[in-house]
Structure 1
Amino acid sequence: MLETPARIEPLFFDDAVPTVLADLAIELQKAADELGRGLHPESAAELADLVRVMNSYYSNLIEGHNTRPKDIEMALAGAEIDPERRPLALEAKAHVEVQRMIDGRALRNELPSPTSMEFIRWVHRAFYDEMPAEFRYVEKPDGTKVDIVPGEFRTISDHDVAVGRHQPPSSSRVIAFMEWFQKRFAMAEKQASLRIIAIASAHHRLNYIHPFPDGNGRVSRLMSHAMALKAGIGGNGLWSISRGLARGLKDRGEYKRMMDHADSPRQGDRDGRGNLSESALKDFVEWFLTAALDQVRFSTAMFDLTRLEARYRALVKDVVDDKRAPDLVSAVLRHGSLPRGEANFVLKTSERTARNTLSDLVDRGFLKSDTPKAPVRIAFPLDFRERLFPNLFTDADVTVPEPPSLSFR
C-alpha cells in the first residue's frame, strides 16, 4: 500500500483538460449566472435559507440518515422534537448552520481557500461542535467507542479505517497527504480553467484520504459548496450539489458507484502518469459536473420569478379566504420586503382592511418579519412546499446509496 502523498495523483489533467469537461464547466458557469436573475435579493435570501435545509436533508440522506424537513426547521427554531427524531434533527441543524456560516463568509469576501487544511478542519469542528452526543463517536468491531474530536484529523492507529474495499492512508500519514492536497489544489484555484473542474476532483480525493474518523462525506459536500462559491458558480445559494449526488442522473446508486470507480488504479501507460486512473477521474468529474448542471437547471426552473409567483398566488387563493391576499404576496415577493404601513397602498383599500389581510398572511406563515412592527418579507412554509416547489424534497421512501461500512483495524 503506497503511503506517499503522490498516491492521490492525478488531481487534474496534466496534458490538457478533456474537451467534454471544459464544455461542461462553461455550461455550468453560464447556467449559474442566470440562476435567481429577476428575484429580489431579499426574496432570494429567503429561498437560499430553504435550499440550505434541502442541502442538509439530502447530504444526511446520503449517509443513510432520513430526517424530515419539518424536524430540521423545528430544530433550527429551537422547538421541542420527539426524542426519537431529535438526534437526526440536530445533526441536520448543524449542517445548515455551518453552510450558513460559509455563505456569510463568502458574502463578506472572507472565505479562505476551501481546500486548505485550515478551512477543512474548521468545517469539521463547526459541524461536530453542534453534533448531538449520539453521533460524536465511532464504534470499533470489539464494541469500544472512540471519541471524535471536532476538527482533528486521524493521527493515531485507533483511527485507521477501511471504507468498503478502499484502504485510506494510515492515520500517521494523514497530515502529509493533506499537506499535498492543500498545496496541489491551491494551484488549481489560481487557474480559471481548473477552478470548476477541481470541485469534482477535490471532492473525491478528500474522501479518498478520509482525513477524519467520521464526517468526511458531509465535510466534502460542504467543501464542494464553498468551492462553488469561490469559483463563481454559487448561483446566489439557490442550488444544492447534495441533491444531485443523492438523486443521481439515472438512479440513486450512482454516487456510490462513481466514487468507487474513481478509486481505480492506473490502467497502463495510456491512463495518465499518476497512481490512480486518469480515465476514471475524467468519468467521475464528467458525472459530477453533469449532476451539478442538472441541479442548477432544476433550480432555475423552480425559482423562476414568474412561475414561482403564479404558483404562490394559486396556493394563497386556495388557502386564504381573502381575494386581496394573492396581490399582497406578489408585491412582497417582487419587492423583497414591504413596510406594514404601505400594505393599503398596494391593495388600494383601507388601512384596517390591509392590516387584517397582512396579519392573516403572517399568521399562516406566508409572510414573516423580525418584529411585530418591522417590514414583512416573503416566507416559504414547509407545510406547502410541494405546492410551491414540487420535488424539492423527497419525503416518500426512497432508495439512496448505502453509506460505506467502516471497519476499524
Structure 2
Amino acid sequence: MLETPARIEPCGIEEQIPEALTDRVIEIRDAASDLGHDLHPESAAELRSLVRLMNAYYSNLIEGHNTRPADIEAAMAGRDPAPEKRALVQEAIAHIAVQEWIDALADTGNLPEPCDLAFLLDIHRRFYEAMPEDLRFVTHHGQRIEIVPGVMRAPGPEVEVGQHLPPSAHRLSDFMAYFSKRYLGLTRGRTGQILSIPAAHHRFNYIHPFLDGNGRVSRLMSHAMIRKAGIGGHGLWSVSRGLARGLRESGEYKAEMARADMPRQGDRDGRGNLSMTALHGFTGWFLTVMLDQIRFTSTMFDLTTLQMRYTALLRDLHPEDTRIVKLVDHVLRFGEMARGDAPIVLGLKERAAREVLSKAVSDGFLKSSTPKTPVRIAFPLAYRERLFPNLFTEAPLDIPPPPPLPGIPTR
C-alpha cells in the first residue's frame, strides 16, 4: 500500500474538465444567487437557524443516529431530553453550534481556507468538546479509546473503513499537509472553488485523519467550502440533506463514496493512484445533489409560497379572525415590527391590536428578544411540517429534478 501523500491523487479535475461539469457549476452558481433574495434579513436569519437544525439532523442520520428534530429544538430551548435521547440530542446541538460558528465567520468575511489543517482540527475540537461523554469513546480492536478533540489518530492499531485502508497514523501529518496545499491551489478560481468541493470531501474521508468524526467534519468542511465559494444562499440550504436522501434513494452517498475509492483502471484513467473516471462520476453526483438541494430550498423558502402556506395554516387555526393573519403576513414580509405599529398595521385601536399581538406571540407565530422589543417572524415547532413540508418528512412537493449529466457516470 502506497504511503506517500500522492496516494490521494487525482485531487481534482484539472485537465480536460467535462463540459457537463462546468455547466453544472454554472447552474449551481445561478441557482444559489437567487436563493432568499426576496426574504427580509430577519426572516432569512430565522430560516437559517432552521436549516442548521436540518443539517445536524441529516448529518446525524447518515451516521445512523436518528434524533427527532422536536427533541433537538426542545433541548435548545432549555428542556431536558429523556435520558435515552440525551446523548444524541447533545450531539446534534454540538453540530449546530459548530455550523453557527462557521456561518458567523463567513458572514463577517473571516472564514479561513476550509481545507486548511488548522481549521479542520478546530472543527473537530469544537465538535467533540461539546459532545457527551458517551460519544467521546470508540471501541477499536477490543480497546475502549478516547477521542481527543482536535487531535488526529495516534499510532497503534490501524483503522479500516469498509474495504478501505486509510493511511497509517504516523503518516497523517504529511497527508494532511499535502491535502491542504493541493486544495489551496485547486480552489483559487471561481469554478475551482465549486468543482473541488466533491473531491475534497472524498479525499478527506479517504485519509480518515481522526479516530472518529471524519464524516461529520467533512460535511462541515463542505459547508464551509460552499460558503467560501459564495453559493451558500446566505446559509439557507444544506448539503447534508441531499447526501442523506440521495437523488433516487438513501444509501447512494456511501455507495458513491466507496466507488470513488477505486484505483486507477489503466493508462486511460488519469495519471494518479485513484481512478479519474470514478472522480468524474462522484463529482457529477455530488454537484447534482448540491443543485437539487438549492432548488428544493428555493421552492421551500420562496416568499410568495411561504406566505401562502403560513396564511392557509392561520386561517385553518383562526377561521373567523383574519387579524392575526394580517399581522403575521406583515412581519414575514417586512422582517420585524415595532410593537407600537400593530394598531396601524391592523387598523385597530391600541387595546384590540395589543390583544392580537399578544395572541400571535403566545402561540409562537411571532417572537422578540424582550417583551418590549420589536417582534419578528417565528415558525412554531407544532406546525413545522405544515409550514415546511419535506424538510424532515416525505410530503408532496412539486420540484423539477435537476437534469442528468451527459457523459458523466453517476449511476
State the TM-score bracket (shorter-chain normalisation).
over 0.9
Partner amino acid, structure 2, of 1:183: K
Q: How far apart are 1:305 and its partner, in Å?
A: 0.3
Report the secondary structure of 1:166's partner residue.
coil
CA deviations on 1:229-276 (whole Å, 9 max, x unpaired) are 000100111110000000000111110110000000000000000000
The one of 169, 178, 181 equivalent to 1:180 is: 178
Q: 2: CA distance between counterparts of 1:194 and 1:14?
A: 9
Matched, 1:339 2:330: no
Q: How far apart are 1:155 and its partner, in Å?
A: 2.8
Report the secondary structure of 1:163's partner residue.
coil
> Any gaps of 5 or more consecutive residues in structure 2?
396-411
1:29: which partner in 2? 29
Q: Which of the pair has the greater relative contact order for Cα pairs under 8 Å at 6+ separation?
A: 1
CA contact (8 A) 1:155 1:174 kept: no
2:105: which partner in 1? 105
Q: How far apart are 1:82 and its partner, in Å?
A: 0.5
> What does residue range 162-241 of structure 1 map to in structure 2 within 5 Å?
162-241=160-239
CA deviations on 1:313-358 (whole Å, 9 max, x unpaired) are 1111212463200110010001111011101100000111111111
Q: 2: CA distance between counterparts of 1:313 and 1:231?
A: 35
Task: Give percent identity, aligned residues only.
Answer: 58
Q: 2: CA distance between counterparts of 1:234 and 1:14?
A: 24
The farther-off stretch of 314-323 and 93-102 is 314-323
Report the secondary structure of 2:23's partner residue.
helix
1:403: which partner in 2? none
2:399: which partner in 1? none
Q: 1: CA distance between counterparts of 2:14 and 2:335?
A: 47
Q: 2: CA distance between counterparts of 1:390 and 1:40?
A: 21
Give me the TM-score of the superposition, normalised by structure 1.
Answer: 0.95
1:402: which partner in 2? none
Root mean square deviation, CA, Å: 1.1
1:326: which partner in 2? 325
CA deviations on 1:134-169 (whole Å, 9 max, x unpaired) are 100111232x210001000113214x2000000000
> What does residue range 238-387 of structure 1 map to in structure 2 within 5 Å?
238-320=236-318, 322-387=321-386
Q: 2: CA distance between counterparts of 1:200 and 1:383?
A: 36
Matched, 1:40 2:46: no
Report the secondary structure of 2:138's partner residue.
strand
CA deviations on 1:168-196 (whole Å, 9 max, x unpaired) are 00111111100000000000221222110
Report the secondary structure of 1:85's partner residue.
helix
Q: 2: CA distance between counterparts of 1:16 and 1:119?
A: 31
CA contact (8 A) 1:157 1:172 kept: no
CA deviations on 1:202-251 (whole Å, 9 max, x unpaired) are 00000000000000001000000000000010011111000000000011
Q: 2: CA distance between counterparts of 1:359 and 1:14?
A: 59
Q: How far apart are 1:17 and its partner, in Å?
A: 1.6
Q: 2: CA distance between counterparts of 1:203 and 1:279?
A: 17
Q: 1: CA distance between counterparts of 2:16 and 2:76?
A: 46
Report the secondary structure of 2:160's partner residue.
strand
Structure 1 runs (4+) deviating above 4 angstroms are none
Q: How far apart are 1:395 and its partner, in Å?
A: 8.3
CA contact (8 A) 1:56 1:96 kept: yes
Q: 1: CA distance between counterparts of 2:75 and 2:159?
A: 32
